[in-house]
A and B are shown apart, each in its own frame.
Chain A
Amino acid sequence: MGVSLTTRRAFIVCTIRGSLALGATALLSACGAGTGTPAPTTPPAAAGATPAAAPTTTGAPTAAAPAAAATTGPATVATGDINLYVGGDVNIRDLWSKELLPAYKKVKPDVSFNMIFDEHALAEQAVFDRLAAAKQAGKPSGVDLWEATGRLQIGGEAGLIQKLSTKEIPNLDKVPKDAFDRFGGYGVPYRASSVVLAYNSAEVKEPPKTLDALLNWIKSNDGKFTYNPPDKGGSGGNFVTRVLEIGIPEDQLRFFQTQYDESKEVLWEKGWAILKELHPHIYNNGFYPPGNIPVLQTLGKGAISMAPVWSDQSLSYLAQKLLPPEVKLLQIDPPFAGSAAYLGIPTDSQHKETLYEFLNWLLTPEPQLIIVNRINGYPGLDWKYMPAEVQQKYADIAKAYSFSFSPKFDTDRNKLWYEKVVGTPPPTPTS
């Protein structure tokens, strides 16, 4: 007995000693591997509602391109089908495969789509690489319709994506102009979501309707408001952006949304001061739940009575009774940011005419209503072209939304928020 125990112990000691150097080195190389973000670091809730925001900075490994091409290759054989590349969560897959495509089949029975679904839109860079490679090789890419955001414009400017106008798709004139121009007119914004203000109407009888009123409300209702850290989800992120925009002159906003220059960040100081001033009035003496969903849960438990939330997530939570029915949504003035999902047509597609017709149909009330009902999304169409009862139902949030900062400004904002708002710097600031 004693012998075997000693042996077991010697074995454990040996194994552990051997793994000492290994484990410690792994710690270091975990940061050096450079193959992207490890899975647990993705803010769990942000993925669904935040359309891929950093098209140019995500260094997707180039090795993924041939892999993606290989898996989707067999599907792209020339059957005359239209290859549709969309990505997102399961709700988006169901929206297309169970609702939109069958609905169009009834309108145009002879047009058939072949959907290539990219879970969580992780292979967007791979599709882009595929388009670029096809152009270089002078061969068709096999991509006919592609859902993306910033990469549509990058691709468009490189001659990979068709520029669109009301000439090809007449219904584009019913789409909010800002949303269509956001990525240079290389895609059709067919659905959207935005951040809105959620409040518990049982506790808040007169909700604030403007940003100033909201800031005053927070200060006079201690512990009843919170938002998530800007790097952990778009709902808190867009609240922070909205406050930072207070210090940015109107004519500079476009720059913050599209370009990057670190020296302009001094314009944020006014916003940081306001957020720091709010800090002691935030829930639980200044606690920010780590994500879009944790904020919704805090609201659902009744611990707070107001918070910025994503429109689609909160509407789905209300529908599933995960939020009490007293919770109401409204869009403030000036509005929080939102964004649309865009569909673009590669220049080498053989089905352009068919697709123009399809996209024009997609911008009619019937399919738009499917989007509103099925995933609680905003329509791509301007709200005024939607049926009256939909307008009425969404009256408090059916308004224009603003746009978020460009990816590089966003990452700087994330870091500065920790330092300027929650961090406690010593009284004499260094460098």
Chain B
Amino acid sequence: MARVREAALGLALVAPPIAILLLLIILPAIQALTFSLGLVPSENVTFSSGQHLVRSDIPTLEVYRQLLASPFVIDDLRLTLSVTVLSVIFVAIVGYILALYVRFGNGWLPRIVRSLYLIPMFVPVVIASYAAVTFYVDRGFLASLFWHLGLGYTSPAYKPAGIVITQVWYNIPFAVLMLGSGLDGIEQELIDSAHDVGAGFFSVLWRIILPLNLVPLLIVLTFTFIGVIGSFTIPFLIGPNAPQMIGVAIQAYFSNYNQPQPAVAMAVIVFAIAALAGVLYVWATSRSNRHAVTL
């Protein structure tokens, strides 16, 4: 009897978040999915007043076929994936170096770095993007600095490179926090004993630190990937006119072109890619947990 009451209480406690999840996220997501398959909901004016709708009584992939036949959308997707992959690689490398420095460095400089690397976390993304634009743009801060030094300058602003630089800057705190807390979990004795038997820095890094710190690295890779691929503000403010990253293209299709259907279909594609990354992550972490030393 007590068990039933406990179960009921548990259900009552989880009901509000589940209801919010259902009403605000899952149901709209399902409607978006069916809309992208040609089923236009007549009661949703935002959807049904869109231009160039594909209407069908049975689900059809026509919207996706049209999208993927457009060389411009392919260009957008290509840019999105390359910016995302590059950002992830740079975030991992820079983040790892910073995390190692903060964990193993001695003296006052690592202590300063320890608080400095967190700063981007407290800067709103729109401010960060504007700051990046004014810093990197032609006739911006960096350009005038180079000019005073008598050096040439090619601005990365309004180019894919500008997006990658700003994404790396913005994602570093999370990466270092994640990797650093993983490094903190590695026992100092392991490293000391490796040193005792004559292992150098790189062999300790390769044989002890990297394998033991694999899960945090996977988290950083996955979440940076998902964050960058769906990003809007940074590419909107510092990206090129065309091709656009998919987040910017989705917004343009949705409101500036009044074509919500392809916008929703693109969102579904991004969702599928992000979900793929999520599956890889879950598979990898559950595998490593089974033979886990860490966690």
Tell me the A residues contacting B by CB distance below 8 Å. 2, 5-6, 8-10, 12-13, 16-17, 20-37, 40-41, 54, 57, 59, 229, 231-232, 262, 284, 286-288, 290, 301, 303, 407-408, 411-412, 414-415, 418-419, 422-426, 429-431
Contact = CB atoms under 8 A, between A and B. Distances in A.
14 contacts: A5-B185, A6-B295, A23-B226, A25-B29, A26-B25, A28-B29, A32-B35, A231-B252, A290-B236, A303-B139, A414-B252, A418-B241, A422-B241, A423-B72
Contacts of B267: 27-28, 30-32
B117 interface: no
Contact of A430 (B33, B69, B223, B274): B69
Given A12-B181, A13-B295, A231 B256 contact: yes
Given A21-B278, A29-B32, A425-B72, A8 B181 contact: yes
B24 A29 contact: yes
A8 B69 CA distance: 48
A59 B46 contact: yes
Given A229-B241, A423-B242, A28 B32 contact: yes
B215 interface: yes
Contacts of A40: 126, 232-233, 236
B156 interface: no
B175 interface: no
Contacts of B25: 22, 25-26, 29
Interface string B116-157: 000000000010000000000011000000000000000000
A327 B252 CA distance: 32
Interface stretch (B89-97, B106-114, B199-207, B258-266): B258-266
Interface residues of B, number: 74
Q: Which 3 A-B pairs have the closest CB atoms?
A: A32-B32, A231-B256, A59-B45
A288 to B, nearest CB: 5
B69 A5 contact: no
Contacts of B75: 423-424
Contacts of A430: 69-71
B270 interface: yes
Given A28-B271, A426-B71, A415 B259 contact: yes
Interface in B202-254: 215-216, 219, 222-223, 226, 230, 232-233, 236-237, 240-244, 250-254
A295 B274 CA distance: 36
Contacts of B69: 430-431
Contact of A27 (B230, B241, B243): B230
Contacts of A425: 71-72
Contacts of B82: none
B46 A35 contact: yes
Contacts of A262: 52
Given A10-B295, A24-B274, A28-B268, A59 B51 contact: no
B51 A408 contact: yes
Say whether chain B's binding surface is mostly helix, strand, loop, or mixed.
helix
Contacts of B232: 40-41
Given A28-B29, A57-B49, A430-B70, 20 more contacts: A2-B184, A5-B184, A6-B185, A9-B181, A12-B178, A16-B219, A22-B25, A25-B26, A29-B32, A33-B24, A33-B28, A34-B44, A59-B46, A229-B241, A231-B256, A290-B236, A303-B138, A418-B252, A423-B71, A424-B242
Interface in B155-184: 158, 177-178, 181-182, 184
A34 B75 CA distance: 27
A29 B274 CA distance: 14
Nearest to A283: B138
B275 interface: yes
Interface in B19-62: 21, 24-26, 28-29, 31-33, 35, 44-47, 49, 51-52
B20 to A, nearest CB: 11
A41 B46 CA distance: 16
Contacts of B215: 13
A29 B28 contact: yes
A151 to B, nearest CB: 15
A424 to B, nearest CB: 7
B257 interface: yes
B274 A27 contact: yes
Given A23-B226, A25-B26, A287-B158, A57 B242 contact: no
A22 B46 contact: no
Contacts of A418: 72, 241-242, 244, 252
A301 B278 contact: no
A37 B126 contact: no
B101 interface: no
Contacts of B177: 12
B64 interface: no
B46 A36 contact: yes
Given A16-B223, A31-B264, A426-B71, A37 B254 contact: yes
